[in-house]
């Protein structure tokens, strides 16, 4: 009887998986068009569509991972573009930033050139080649074999003595 009490006290309910809390962003809040349409919601859905167009255009030009954030307000609009430049280009960062700003201005004509901010991240350097360390493993195995051989020989000599 005591064992049943101990076992029942020791059992716990299965742990529930912890759900990650995601940060709310424009897309998760306003992407659902079934919400009650408001001017704010329509403006943000338009911003999301234009940001998607700009992202697609930059990816077609082989810019790396691209993140675009648009804010289209009458008093203060802005576009922020963060990307990696193409790998096969010889153009300078300033030239590439000017090209991206020009493309953004063509896709979103409401923005003035001083409202478009472009940041190009450098491409990560390729990882250094791994050094071959098979010689170290070979020496370690050889040392282990020698030490086991010496140990076995000493055990054999003690039994004979």
- Token readout for 69 is 């954030």
Do the Cβ atoms of 86 and 62 come closer than 8 Å? yes
Q: Convert the pLDDT of each residue in 82-112 to its tens digit.
A: 888 887 778 888 888 888 888 888 888 888 8
For position 152, what pLDDT does the model report? 92
pLDDT surpasses 80 at 76: no
Classify residue 79 as exposed, middle or buried by CB count within 10 Å of its CB (0-12, 13-18, 19+): buried
CA distances 142 to 70, 125, 147, Å, are 64, 38, 9
- Token readout for 17 is 């998986």
How far apart, in whole angstroms, are the C-alpha atoms of residue 102 and residue 109?
10
pLDDT surpasses 50 at 6: no
Q: Convert the pLDDT of each residue in 7-59 to its tens digit.
A: 455 555 556 666 666 666 666 666 666 767 778 888 888 888 888 888 898 88
How far apart, in whole angstroms, are the C-alpha atoms of residue 139 and residue 106?
65
Pick from 153, 52, 60, 159: nearest CA to 107: 52
């Amino acid at each position: 009887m005591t064992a049943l009490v101990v076992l029942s006290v020791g059992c716990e309910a299965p742990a529930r998986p912890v759900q990650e809390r995601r940060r709310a962003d424009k897309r998760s809040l306003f992407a659902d068009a079934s919400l009650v349409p408001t001017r704010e919601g329509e403006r943000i859905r338009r911003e999301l569509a234009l940001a998607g167009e700009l992202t697609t255009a930059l990816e077609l030009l082989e810019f790396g991972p691209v993140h675009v954030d648009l804010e289209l307000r009458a008093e203060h609009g802005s576009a922020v573009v963060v990307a990696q430049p193409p790998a096969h280009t010889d153009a300078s960062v300033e030239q590439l930033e000017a090209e991206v700003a020009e493309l953004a201005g063509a896709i979103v004509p409401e923005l003035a050139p001083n409202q478009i901010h472009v940041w190009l991240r450098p491409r990560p350097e390729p990882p250094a080649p791994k050094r071959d360390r098979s010689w170290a493993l070979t020496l370690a195995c050889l040392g282990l074999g020698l030490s086991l051989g010496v140990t076995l020989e000493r055990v054999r000599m003690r039994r004979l003595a």
